[in-house]
Structure 1
Amino acid sequence: MSSSEPTFGTIPALEPEFPPVLSSSIREAYSLCPRKFQWEQINGYIPKEENEHLKFGSAYAAGLETYRRSYYGSKYREMSPSDRLSHSLADGVYAAIVNYGDYEPPEGSAKNYERLIGALVEYTLQYPPETDSCKPSMFQGEPRVEFSFTIEIPQVPHPVTGNPLLFSGRCDMLSEYNKGLFIFDDKTTGSLGPSWANQWRLRSQFTAYTVGAQEHGFAVVGAIIRGIAILKTKYNLAEVIVHRPPHIVAAWKERLIHDAERMVEMWHSGYWPQYGMENGGCGQYGGCSYQVLCESIQPTGYLPVYFQHARWDPIIREIR
C-alpha cells in the first residue's frame, strides 16, 4: 500500500441496494459512468460537501414554485395585479431564503444569497406574470406547478424484490403555450449561448417528463426551458422551446428498458465499469466527486473523509 493512502476512520457499511425507483439524474449518472452509479446508488455514498450550483438551483426553484403558487392560485386573487405580484414575489423570496439556509458558497462565487434574491426579482421583470406567454395549466383554480409522476418500466422487474421497477420525475410546471401543453423547467447556469440552447434539443430529461405527463393523461407536446445566467454584476435570461414527437418518445421508451436491463445485468455480475475514463465524465461539472476513489488503490480510506452514507429518493425528493 502506498504511504500516501489514508488509513484513518471507518464508515459502517450499508448493504448494497438496487434502487427501486430510477430518475433522469440516476439514469444520467449510470450512462455517464456505471462506477459512479455504483458508489452513489448501489453502495449509498454521497459527498459531504454541498455543491454550490445545486444548492443555488434548488433555492431558486423553491422561490419560483412558491411565487407561482401565490400569484396564479387563489391566495391573492382578489388583489390588484401589482399588489398580487409584490405579495407573491415576497412569498417566493422567503421560500428561497428558507431553502438556502445558512449555506456559505465558496468565496467569490456569483451564486450567493444576494444574487439569489436578485435573480427572483429579475425573473419577474423579464417575464411579468400578467403578460407572460407561458402560464401554468390550471386545475380547480390552482396552478399545476411542481408536477410529479411515477411510471412502471415494462419488462424489467426489480432484481431483488421482483416488484415492478419504477421511474419517477418532477418538473417545475405544466405550462400552456400557443394552444399547446408543455413541460416547463427553470435552469440556472453560468453562461447562456448557442451551446446552452442546443443541449436541450434531445435531452433525455425532457423526453422523460413528456412521457410521464402523457402516461398520466396530459397531452404534452414538448418542453419550455428558461435559463438564467448568474453573473457577478448582471443576469442574462433565455428561453428555449423543444418538441417531442412520437418517434422520439418511442425511442426514449425503448432505451429506458435497455438501460434498466443493463443495470440489472451489472447488479448480478457485480462489475461496474468506469466509463468516465473514456467519455470525459470524470471531468464534467467541475470534476466527478468520486475520482478520488477511482484513483486510489484503497478507496475505502477516503470514504469517511469525503463521503457520508445516504441515498437520494426521487419520489419524496429527499436524502434518506
Structure 2
Amino acid sequence: MTRRKRVTSPAGWTGAQWRENYLLASGVWARILGRYVDPVDNFFRAGGVAQQVPELLEALRDEANLPLTRPLFDVEPTLVGSLGLLSGAPVGDVVPFRLEGERPPLFLISGSGGVALQFVPLVQELGENQPVIALQSRAAQQRRLPEYSLKSQARRLTQRIEEVAPTGDLVLGGHSMGGLVALEVAHELTRRGRRVSHLFIIDTRPEVRMTGARGSGVVPTNRPLRFPRPVIPIALAAAVAGLVRPRGGRLYQAQFVLGQMRRRFIAPMPAFAGPTHLFVTRHDPEHTEQGWRHRGGNPLTVESIPGSHNSCLRPPHVSDLGSRIRAILDS
C-alpha cells in the first residue's frame, strides 16, 4: 500500500472529523427540513423558519454533540459555515476524508461555489477501502483571493496532490466546473510522469468556446450562462469573494458567479488519454454528452445518474453514483 501523508487543518478538525460531524449535522438538518440540502445552502432559504431553529440546535447538541449556539447560527446559518465556526479553524484547500485503504487514492475537486463537504455522502458510499481526498478553492473557507485562471488552479492542485500522494497511481474526479479543473489536473499530472488510472466527470458541461464554435455540431445548451443583475456590482463582489467573506451563503453564490464568468474564457482542452467516465443528470444531458464526445480522442463512457446537478451528490441519489464508481474501480 502506498503511504500517504496525513493532512490536517491547523488547530481544527481532521478530515475524518469533518466527515463524521458533517454526516451527523446534515442528518439533523434533513430531518428538520424534510430533505437533504447542500452544505452551502442557507437554512432559511432552504425552507426553514425561525420557529424550527431551537429544535435544530437542541438536536445538534444532543444527537451530534455539536454545541452550536443561536448567536453563532445567526452569524452563519449554513452547514459549512456553522460547522466551520465550531471547528476552531478554517478548512484548507485539501480535505482528506479518508487516507487509509488499499486502492489508489481518489481526489475529488469541487465546482465553483461548491465545497469539499459536498462529497462526504459519496465518500461513505465508496466504502472503507477507498482513500478519498477532496480539493476545493483556496478561497472556499479561507480568507484568500479566489482563483481567476483554471490553469493556475490546476497547477496548484497538482502540487497539493503530489504532497499527499508523492508516488503511485491516482484517480481523479470533479463535479460541475470541478470536472474541467480535474481534466487539466490530469494533463498536468501526466506531464509530470504520474499515472491517472481513471478520470470521473460528474455533470460537467464542456467549455463554452468549444461547443459554441462554428461547425461543432453540439446541440445548444438548455441552460445558457446568465448573470444576476446588477452585473457590475455583482462581478466586483465575485472578484474578491474569499478575501471579503459575506455571510449566510452569499460567499458561495459570489464564487459561483465568478466561476461562470471564468468559464466563458476557458480555451478548449484536449481529451485525456486515459479512461474517462462522464456521469450526466437531467440538468443538461444532451448538450453535456455531445460536448464531451465532440472532444474526441479518449475512451469515454457516459452514464445517466438520478437526481439534479447538485442532488446527485446527496441521499438518496448518491448511492447510485457511488455504486457505479465502485463498479468501475473494481473492474
Structure possessing the higher relative contact order (Cα contacts under 8 Å, 6 or more residues apart)? 1
Query: Which of these two proteins has the greater Rg computed from alpha carbons?
Result: 1
User: Is this a same-fold pair by TM over 0.5?
Assistant: no
Greater share of strand residues, 1 or 2? 1
Q: TM-score range by the shorter chain?
A: under 0.3
Superposition TM-score, scaled by structure 2 size:
0.22
